[in-house]
Amino acid sequence: MGFKILRKQELIPGQTSLLVIDAPQIAKKAKPGNFVILRNDEKGERVPLTIADKDPKEGTITIVFLVVGKSTAQLNTLQEGDEILDVCGPLGKATHIDKQGTVVCVGGGTGIAAMHHIAKGHWEAGNHVVAIIGARTEDLLLFRCELDGFCPEVLIATDDGSVGHKGFVTEVLKDRLESDRNVTEVVAVGPVPMMEAVAKTTKPFGVKTTVSLNSIMVDGIGMCGACRCSVGGETKFACVDGPEFDGQEVDFSELKARLWQFKEQEDESMGKFKKECSCHGK
* Residues engaged in binding ligand FES (CB under 6 A): 217-220, 222-227, 237, 239
Spatial distance between the Cα atoms of 78 and 3, rounded to a whole number of angstroms: 12
Per-residue contact track with other proteins, 232 to 271, x per CB under 8 A? ---x-x--x-------------x--xx-xxx-xxx-xx--
CA-wise closest residue to 119 among 97, 136, 93: 97
**Any alpha helices (H) in 103-251, and if so which ranges?**
111-124, 144-150, 169-179, 192-202, 238-241
C-alpha 230: how far from its chain's center? 20
215 scored as a contact of ligand FAD (CB under 6 A): yes
**What are the strands, taking DSSP E only, across 23-116?**
35-39, 47-50, 53-55, 60-66, 83-84, 86-91, 102-108
Establish if 43 lies at the interface with other proteins (CB under 8 A).
Answer: yes
Residue placing its CB nearer to other proteins in the complex, 12 or 221: 221
Cβ contact 36:27 at 8 Å: no
- Residues between 110 and 169 that touch ligand FAD (CB under 6 A): 110, 113-114
Mask of contacts with ligand FAD, 97-116, x by CB under 6 A?
-------------x--xx--
As a whole number of angstroms, the distance between CA 217 and CA 65 comes to 16
User: Contacts with ligand FAD in 245-264 (CB under 6 A)?
Assistant: 259-260, 263
Looking at the Cβ atoms of 90 and 164, the one nearer to other proteins is 90
Query: What is the secondary structure of 174-212 as a DSSP string?
Result: HHHHHH-TTEEEEEEES-HHHHHHHHHHHGGGT-EEEEE
DSSP state of 135: E
Find the residue with minimal CB distance to ligand FAD.
Answer: 69
Element (H, E) at 245: strand 244-246
Give the range of 4-12, 83-91, 116-124, 178-186 binding other proteins by CB under 8 A.
83-91
Q: Shortest approach of ligand FES to residue 2 CB, angstroms? A: 22
Question: How crowded is residue 161: how many other Cβ atoms within 10 Å of its Cβ?
Answer: 12
Range 172-231, binding other proteins (CB under 8 A): 218-219, 221-226, 228-230
Q: Which residues here bind other proteins, judged by CB under 8 A? A: 25-26, 29, 39-40, 43-46, 70-71, 85-91, 218-219, 221-226, 228-230, 235, 237, 240, 254, 257-258, 260-262, 264-266, 268-269, 272
Using CB under 6 A, list all residues that contact ligand FAD: 35, 47-50, 64-66, 68-72, 110, 113-114, 214-217, 221, 243, 259-260, 263, 266, 270
